[in-house]
Structure 1
Amino acid sequence: MPDEYREMRDVVRRFVQTEVKAVEDTLPHDATYCPEDKLKPLQDKAKAMGLWCVRTPEEFGGAGLNLFGQAIWAEEAKQVRMGLYNAAMGAFGIDPPNVIWEGNRQQIEKYGLPGVEKGSRCFVAISESSGGADPGRAIQLKAEKIGGKYILNGSKMWITGAAKADWGIVYARTGGRGRSGISSFIVDRDTPGLTVKEIPVIRAYSPFELHFDNVEVPAENLLGEEGMGFALAEKWLVDNRIQYSAGTLGVAQAALDIAVKWANERETFGSRLADKQAVQWMLADSDMELRAARLIVYEAAWRGDLGKDFKLEASIAKVTATETAGRVVDRCMQILGGLGVSKELPLERWYRELRIHRIGEGPSEVHRMVVARNVLNGRR
């Protein structure tokens, strides 16, 4: 790892472990947000470190980290209880979706920049009840152009962060079947006709169902060109899989650190857990699998930074990282026994939330289909 990335990793690690965690320890076990009065001092320090909105280009006020840098940052920033869905509790800011920077200047100034400068929040709405893993065919939300506006009718499912958002990027069908019929729109959260309903799930951070009933969107809120929405959705999804994957490995590494400390301290029947072969093997398997998964994520990020197509590598990274993390946290809970499933530690929360990571951002089975298709076509 180049020295500059190693130095950044160490800075983020110290900040998260000593300052962010200290604040999170004062919050309820299943908290999903940090109160503003406690969060702002942390955000001020992150800005001073030059690590504000790490995915946002420097020209728009962000840190402008490349994909490799984002992977290293995510692994450290997500090692808190709420980290899988709110990295470092939002101490480093909440990046607007990367596709907003593909918009025109007016869209960037109205929606993108306030996210960096004022912390306005956004949701991304792709999935529907008809399916989320193949949006090109599954999207049924209809957008009909009438005069100088589009009228949206339909629903979206499993949308993260919609309740607290100020605006969202919504993918709807403006044309015929298939990918070429999808367009992307910027929709204000308070637009008449848009309703939001919570969907309680296994994790603390609930997704939402969005219903669009004759929602009027100005034509100037079309993001990109009509019929080009799928390409924007793919850019957001593929790039996001780097952070998504690296973050799960960070949580798994944190769980392993807890288990190693416990194994070295806990004595049963005259010896430490660390002296028992069954425990040693669980720890060894976890360490080896994490090392391998981490390198797979790094490879995907590296290809992306070189400007190469990395959809295949992102799929491999997503499956490997999320499934590895799930196994590691499961082993760590086993090593700690009853304490592992108690709410005194973050393990049980990570266990619940990692289970969703094998479904979110495309289920493992769909990514395996992507990999198989490439293998059968001779791509290596």
Structure 2
Amino acid sequence: MREEVKPIEDTLPHDAMGCDPEDRKRLRAIAEEMGLTRLNVPEAYGGNPVSALARVIIAEESAKCRLGGYAPALGAFGGGPPNIIWGGTDSQIERYGVPCVEGRKSAFVAITEPTGGSDPRNNIQTRAEKHGDFWKLNGRKMWITGAKWADFGVIFARTDDGGDGKPPGITAFIVENDFKGITFNEIGVIRALSPFEIVLEDCEVPDANVLGRVGGGFNVAQTWLVDARIPYAAGCIGMAQEALDMACGWVKQRPTRDGMLEDKQAIQWMIADSEVELRAARLLVYDAATKVDAGEPAKVDASVCKLYGTETAGRVVDRAIQMFGGMGVAKEMPLERWYRELRVKRIGEGPSEVHRMVIARDKLRNTDGGMYFG
């Protein structure tokens, strides 16, 4: 990131959506040579799988760039296949997974709908009905990052309504972008990566493109979300750490009427608070990743990381802007962009309020009342 990405981003316009095709191609080649495009790919398919702990360390470092997010914001790592692809059939892996590894294809995942995305089992209204050897999908998906620019996506749809105490059946489908009946509408937002609305109108999907078992899509989604939320938090920590480091460099060289800015107690307290919170957030992420590597359940840990990591990062960048003063909101600095990016991060991958509910319910379910009420 320091040797290859940083020099390129310094030449980009302040609100650039990415680098030019030649730089993107070169960065992709470097990333492939380092094995960074295959971190979630099994060795059997040419992958370079690493531990969850290693992935979060890489995610944190890769987020320290002007464009925010992870290195894919620059096109450096490309659009790799979602981890859930590796649970597909050999044919699905060969057709969709391997081309992503080789940089020939990219993918998206579509769960969220206009009715919301925090309770996918009950909120998904997109329907899939079977007709012979194919399915017809009808419905809408919202806020799907980069969907139009990908080659295919994993789309979740309702295949039965449940009943008799059973929840609705949700199924995952691999849908190619050029299938008949699928259209994309870009949604303008405050961040660098463009989200899209996906409209499905009698979109025909072969039965062979069902990912996993029919009705088993919710479990597929949950596995993927847990795996994604921990490095998601690590990326936010990376942005915030870079902002804090920049602020420290600034106050050390900024003179005031009676000394340097770094000597002011108000500044020192902001630095101390930010450093403490970032260390705590990082240790939470490392602990969750270690549990994943040990094969332990980490759903609640992922929620803790996502909640605390995103909210901490937002506070740290806010303080950094305050320490910079007017320069903090200048377009030539990355701080105002990171500030906008991190505001979105508190919503993506599940809003903070939903993760608070997950954490609280788990605590109440697994606590007997302590010494006095047990």
TM tier, smaller: over 0.9
Aligned mates of 2:282, 2:73 — CA distance in 1: 20
State the SS of the aligned residue for 1:304: helix
Length-normalised TM-score, structure 2: 0.94
Aligned counterpart, 2:87: 102
Aligned counterpart, 1:112: 97
Q: Give the conservation status (yes or no) of the 8 Å contact 2:233–2:285.
A: yes
The alpha-carbon distance between structure 1 residues 321 and 30, as it changes in their structure 2 partners (threshold 3 A), is: same
The alpha-carbon distance between structure 1 residues 379 and 39, as it changes in their structure 2 partners (threshold 3 A), is: farther
Q: Trace 1:87-236 onto structure 2 (pairs within 5 A).
A: 87=72, 89-177=74-162, 179-236=167-224
Q: Per-residue deviation at 1:131?
A: 1.1
Aligned counterpart, 1:257: 245
> Which region of structure 1 is more displaced relative to structure 2, 319-328 or 26-35?
26-35
Aligned counterpart, 1:11: none
> Which region of structure 1 is more displaced relative to structure 2, 235-244 or 52-61?
52-61
Of 325, 333, 336, the match for 1:337: 325
Q: Does 1:72 align with 2:57?
A: yes
Aligned mates of 2:38, 2:68 — CA distance in 1: 16
Q: Does 1:56 align with 2:38?
A: no
Q: Does 1:84 align with 2:69?
A: yes
Aligned counterpart, 1:372: 360
State the SS of the aligned residue for 1:145: strand
Deviation per residue, 1:64-122 (Å, 9 max, x gap): 12211110000001111223154472323432100000000110011111001024111
State the SS of the aligned residue for 2:109: strand
Q: Does 1:247 align with 2:235?
A: yes
Aligned mates of 1:119, 1:64 — CA distance in 2: 20
Q: Give the conservation status (yes or no) of the 8 Å contact 2:62–2:70.
A: no
Q: Which runs of 5+ in 1 are unaligned?
A: 1-15
Q: Which runs of 5+ in 2 are unaligned?
A: 369-374
Aligned mates of 1:93, 1:61 — CA distance in 2: 16
| Letter aligned with residue 322 of structure 1 | T
Q: Per-residue deviation at 1:256?
A: 0.5
Q: Does 1:277 align with 2:265?
A: yes
Q: Per-residue deviation at 1:58?
A: 2.5
Aligned counterpart, 2:371: none
Percent identity, aligned pairs only, is: 54
Q: Does 1:347 align with 2:353?
A: no
The alpha-carbon distance between structure 1 residues 206 and 379, as it changes in their structure 2 partners (threshold 3 A), is: farther
Deviation per residue, 1:117-138 (Å, 9 max, x gap): 0241111100001110010000
Q: Give the conservation status (yes or no) of the 8 Å contact 2:71–2:77.
A: no
Aligned residues: 365
Length-normalised TM-score, structure 1: 0.93
State the SS of the aligned residue for 1:17: coil
Q: Per-residue deviation at 1:202?
A: 1.8
> Which region of structure 1 is more displaced relative to structure 2, 110-119 or 163-172?
110-119
Q: Per-residue deviation at 1:56?
A: 2.0
Q: Give the conservation status (yes or no) of the 8 Å contact 1:132–1:362.
A: yes
> Which region of structure 1 is more displaced relative to structure 2, 59-68 or 254-263?
59-68
State the SS of the aligned residue for 2:116: coil
Q: Does 1:316 align with 2:304?
A: yes
State the SS of the aligned residue for 2:149: coil
Q: Give the conservation status (yes or no) of the 8 Å contact 2:70–2:235.
A: no
| Letter aligned with residue 324 of structure 2 | L
Aligned mates of 1:17, 1:304 — CA distance in 2: 29
The alpha-carbon distance between structure 1 residues 61 and 180, as it changes in their structure 2 partners (threshold 3 A), is: farther
State the SS of the aligned residue for 1:335: helix
Aligned counterpart, 1:36: 21
State the SS of the aligned residue for 1:59: helix
| Letter aligned with residue 44 of structure 2 | E
Q: Give the conservation status (yes or no) of the 8 Å contact 2:122–2:168.
A: no
Q: Give the conservation status (yes or no) of the 8 Å contact 2:68–2:341.
A: no
Aligned counterpart, 1:266: 254
Q: Give the conservation status (yes or no) of the 8 Å contact 1:80–1:88.
A: no
Aligned counterpart, 1:8: none
